Structure 1
Amino acid sequence: MDLPHRHFFRDDPGYEQARSRTVWNARTPERYPDLVIQAADADDVVATVQYATARDLKIGIRSGGHSWAGNHIRDGGVLLDVHDLNRCEVDVEAGTAVVGPGMGGSVLAGLLWEQGLFFPAGHCKGVCIGGYLLQGGYGWNSRVLGPACESVLGLDVVTADGEQLHIDADNHADLYWAARGSGPGFFAAVTAFHLKLYRRPQICGSSLYVYPMEIADEIYPWARSISAEVDRKVELQIAASRSVPGMGLQTPGIVFASPVFADTEQDAINALALLETCPVRDKAIAAVPYAPADLETWYAGIMSNYPDGHRYTADNIWTSASADELMPGITKTLESMPPHPSHFLWLNWGPSPQRQDMAYSLEDEIYLACYGVWDDPADDEIYGDWARSSMAAMEHLQSGIQLADENLGRRPAPFASAEAMAKLDRVRAAYDPNGRFHSWMGRV
């Protein structure tokens, strides 16, 4: 049985480059697969699965490598890199696309934008759609369009026995159900996603407010009090950090950056008007109630918090707790936060509408996440546990986590309902009875 052309055993020249290129995080995990395979097409994926099956090897899969924890890199077995499966075929009339797992979300968004189309791609450049869609997909305008996995019409996959299947609501429906929300624990290799596309929003804009950190105890309770009132066209993102360099602010700040998607400019202005009612509005260091925006502007702003070549750790919780319950933990998180670009994120998400029946089954009103970011390996001991310990201190208030920012290897937590997890186990037993594909870290 021949291996794909691009493969690297541990003793081969190029192995370490092949292994480390699968991780965007400069904290490349000290885990070493026996073999790294860089697939060029679906046939390479089939050959990889057949090779692993013949030798009883487990498989980890990478599309973009933006997993903070490097879930795809494990000791032993095979690391299957599908980054180069990045084809994109758009049917404008049908409003659909067939896209490989290695296609960058921001690249896809740009291609669609030029054709008057839209898809709720992820907020960060470099994230490929493979892992993004499998774990749920919180992207642009997702409060209206839903997590991106709801817009996955079907998938082309290679199963644990090396069979190529197309799965959708009518074909292998249980496997299709599992693909939408199981994230890095999905038990097949995806070679293509079939996506539902949308009309590009007529108006894209945003508001921007910056408040001093000293009034955090007034900012967050107010944000909690309006959480159910925020128009679903608005993404109310609140990021706190030790400095806001893009605005020349070298002191701690709390930034309200809120994209809005609407049919008219007046609709956008009206949707954002609620943010002008903040009781400490007069203390804002900067305030832009509304301004036109576009994807490139948004991506540039987001990526100022996620520079290349840095060391990362992340953790998160979903919660419906009250401000009184949350503020002790938030205060401690802010006080212990490492220097910029480390940051603490608050996202007003729900209450959400009824979702489709899929493995993705857990979300809540408020999303909180910590992102530790630094560049010196000598600071690993100082900053490496901030995200985990901050979220652990509030986990008595969590309903669960989302897989995009998972830290399951260090802090196990629920990411799907108990019923969904039980079904995932049943479907895995049917399609991958020998555990060919790695499960989630922190869970056998």
Structure 2
Amino acid sequence: MDTISGFPKAIIPKENAPIEEQQKQQQLSQQEQEQQQQQPNPAQATGHDDADDLPILYRDSTPRDEFLAAVWGHVFNQRRATGTRVPRAVVHATSARHVVAAVRLANEMGCRVSVRSGGHSWAGWSVREDAICVDLGGLPGGKYSLSGDGAGADGVSGYEYDEGTGVLSCPPSATGRMVNGFLEGKGRMFSGGHCPDVGLGGFLLQGGMGWNCKNWGWSCESILGIDAVTADGREVHASKGENTDLFWAARGAGPAYRQVLQWVIDTCKTADTDTEVVAVGQYIPEHPDPVIITNFLAFKPNRTSGEAALRPIHDDPDRPPNPIIQTFARPTSLPDQYAPQAIANPEGHRYCSENAYVRNDEDVPAVLEEAFTTLPTRKAFALYFSMAPTSRRPHYTADADDDASSMALSMHSDHYFALYTVWEDEGDDERCVDWTQRVIRGVERFAEGSYLGDADFRYRRTKYWRDGNARRLMGIRRRWDPEGRVCGYLDEGDGSGVEGLRNEFEWE
């Protein structure tokens, strides 16, 4: 959506603590602009006194290494287009007024503006050629604020919690781990990203495939309102009763391989509704071939109820025999669960991701076999995530113009699949990207479409919304940002502009 700074307002967290069972069995072309001979004074350019202290670095007046560090330092993926995507300036905002001033400055200078909440998009969407990049990490309570160290945010300004309603307000650069650190002891949790350092702003704008999404629904459904800055530099609030079109758009802008995955799919139909079901294809130490790790995470208030939820799975006579390793009903916590997520998504590495919603009537193990069994590096992994019954909720297929029932997020199936190709050596870029694209192009003909959050629009055209939702979303973008001031979808050549992303299958 074409607004800057989505401050999630009013997140209603879930209760319960997790218990798990594991069974290991196998990321515009350059738009030429007339460069000004002298950098403008931001306050003069915006006509706004609040811009006097705008924390901005300009490309043309900052040493290159220092500027590139400011541009890319908060980007997770080490695959960085430092030679072809160089912003005009970077603003490290520490207040909402800095965001307003940056957007007004971009309007005055005639350039685009991009935004970064946590820097975890696989393609580095926030870094755009000749744009002003607004980094929200320094907002109070944010990922890179002086007091927000990512280990917990209790007592940090920027968080407001209503004990009576269970409503939390927080900055878009807060992470799931930080928010749940703040909520710890309050009998609440929020279904944020599984990876602990993902900023909530981008996560929720994509829809938010959070903890136990299969049963609890998409994380963006917990949003009651957002505070945003529009493309012309106005602060607005959006909710179901105010600026409803913006609010609508904000929620979604191996060995024994087949036997194991089919068992997971079948188990999903009867598993307890507080149990998250995931299958991961990956390598493990001292094992030459990829394995499948099946993980059943029950979100329950105590061990007794957790064991009761997991016992039918553990005792299932159809469960594949002779696992390499297994555990049953091991008490755990969100901090415990964040740790392996951080290991699986290490910093300082290079990434390429892809994903698809496989159609409900397909032979899913057959469709995903190459992905799970031919991983190109020992750090790469493939993921199967059960989405039913969330995928069957009637309001997901409501008419796109129904503000009360629908939202932009509208692409669903029971079977979500994602590839995360991870490597270290730049010399492996071509091999790893080619493998990822070859595999996903084999899967896409059996898919309904894809999820925005694990996509890289530069490589492949596909569907991310139902057709009516896509048309409405692109219309909202044009209405709120007719000049294309806010950087939109980073497609091939960064040319999506005012028209937005083409919601279509490339192969059709």
* Shorter-chain TM-score range: 0.7 to 0.9
After superposing the two structures, state which structure 1 stretch, 36-45 or 140-149, moved more. Answer: 140-149
| Counterparts of residues 95-174 of structure 1 (less than 5 Å) | 95-174=166-245
Shift of 1:135: 0.9
CA distance in 1, matches of 2:327, 2:384: 19
CA shift, 1:403, in A, is 1.3
The answer on 1:215 being equivalent to 2:231 is: no
SS across alignment from 1:426: helix
Paired with 1:283 and 1:408, the residues of 2 have a C-alpha distance of 41
Q: How far apart, in 2, do the equivalents of 1:145 and 1:222 lie? A: 22
- Decide whether the 8 Å contact of 1:121 with 1:139 is kept in 2: yes
> Offset of 1:319 from its aligned partner?
1.6
State the partner residue of 1:195.
none
- Kindly report which structure 2 residues correspond to 1:292-311, keeping only aligned pairs within 5 A, or say none: 292-311=331-350
Do 2:367 and 2:446's aligned partners in 1 also have CA atoms closer than 8 Å? no
The structure-2 alpha-carbon separation of the partners of 1:377 and 1:425, relative to structure 1 and needing over 3 Å to count, comes to same
Deviation at 1:48, TM superposition (A): 0.6
Cα separation, partners in 2 of 1:278 and 1:69, compared to 1, 3 Å: farther
* The one of 358, 383, 394 aligned to 1:354: 394
Q: Which residue of 1 aligns with 2:148?
A: none
Aligned: 1:229 with 2:270: yes
Structure 2 match to 1:374: 423
Instruction: Give the root-mean-square deviation of aligned CA atoms.
Output: 1.9
2:281 aligned residue: 240
Q: How much identity, in percent, do the aligned residues show?
A: 30
| Residue 435 of structure 1, aligned match among 465, 481, 484 | 484
Cα 1:249–1:332, aligned 2, differ >3 Å: closer, same or farther?
closer
Supply the distance in 1 between the matched residues of 2:214 and 2:304 (Cα, whole angstroms): 19
Aligned partners of 1:339, 1:174: CA distance in 2, in Å? 43
Q: Give 1:119 shift.
A: 1.1
SS across alignment from 1:423? helix
Equivalent residue runs for 1:166-205 within 5 Å:
166-182=237-253
AA at the equivalent of 1:143:
K
CA distance in 1, matches of 2:278, 2:336: 16
Aligned CA distance change for structure 1 residues 333 and 143 (closer, same or farther; 3 Å) = closer
> How many angstroms apart in 2 are the aligned matches of 1:407 and 1:302?
21
Check the 8 A contact 1:180/1:359 in 2, yes or no.
yes
Distance, in Å, in 2 between the alignment partners of 1:41 and 1:148 is 25
Letter in structure 2 aligned against 1:168: S
Of residues 461, 470, 484, the one that matches 1:421 is 470
For 1:316, give the aligned amino acid: N
What is the SS of the residue equivalent to 2:275? coil
Q: Distance in 1 between matches of 2:309 and 2:110?
A: 55
Alignment of 1:327-338 (within 5 A): 327-338=365-376
Within the alignment, does 1:284 sit opposite 2:333 as a pair? no
**Structure 2: distance between partners of 1:403 and 1:367:** 12
8 A Cα contact 2:193 2:208, kept in partner = yes
Q: 2:109 aligns with which of 55, 69, 75?
A: 55
User: 1:98 is aligned with what amino acid?
Assistant: S
Secondary structure of the equivalent of 2:462? coil
Of 62-71 and 14-23, more deviation after overlay is shown by 14-23
Aligned residue type for 1:347: F
Which residue of structure 2 aligns with residue 26 of structure 1? 78
The DSSP-based 3-state class of the residue aligned with 2:438 is helix
- Once the two structures are superposed, residues 350-398 of structure 1 have per-residue CA deviations (whole angstroms, 9 ceiling, x without a partner) of 1322344111111110111110001111111221232222111110111
Query: Which one of 285, 294, 299 corresponds to residue 256 of structure 1?
Result: 294
Are 2:69 and 1:17 aligned? yes
Q: Quick one: which of 381, 394, 398 aligns to 2:447?
A: 398
1:273 and 2:311 correspond: yes
Structure 1: stretches of 5+ with no match in the other structure:
183-212
Alignment of 1:61-100 (within 5 A): 61-85=115-139, 86=142, 87-100=158-171
Deviations 1:208-240 (CA, angstroms, capped at 9, x unpaired): xxxxx2110211222333343333311111111
Match of 2:56 in 1: 7
Count of matched residue positions in the alignment of Structure 1 and Structure 2: 410
TM-score (norm: length of structure 1): 0.87
Stretch deviating more after TM superposition (121-130 or 275-284): 275-284
Provide the rounded CA distance (Å) in 2 between the counterparts of 1:336 and 1:308: 24
* C-alpha distance in 1 between matches for 2:161 and 2:72: 32
In structure 1, give the amino acid aligned to 2:357: W
Q: Secondary structure at the match of 1:333?
A: helix
Tell me how far 1:264 sits from its aligned partner. Answer: 4.8
In 1: Cα distance, 2:269 partner to 2:287 partner = 31
Displacement after TM superposition at 1:314 (Å): 0.4
**8 Å contact 2:290–2:374 — kept in the other structure?**
no
CA distance in 2: counterparts of 1:29 and 1:328, whole angstroms:
36
Following superposition, the deviation at residue 114 of structure 1 comes to 2.6
> What is the CA-CA distance between 1:315 and the residue it aligns to?
0.3
Contact 1:224 1:322 in 2 (8 A): no
When residues 40 and 278 of structure 1 are mapped into structure 2, their CA distance, relative to the original with a 3 A threshold, is farther
Q: Which runs of 5+ in 2 are unaligned?
A: 1-41, 44-50, 143-157, 396-404, 498-508
Asked if structure 2 preserves the Cα contact closer than 8 Å seen for 1:221 and 1:323, the reply is no
The whole-number CA distance in structure 1 between the counterparts of 2:289 and 2:443 is 26
Q: Deviation at 1:279?
A: 3.1
TM-score, normalising length from structure 2? 0.77
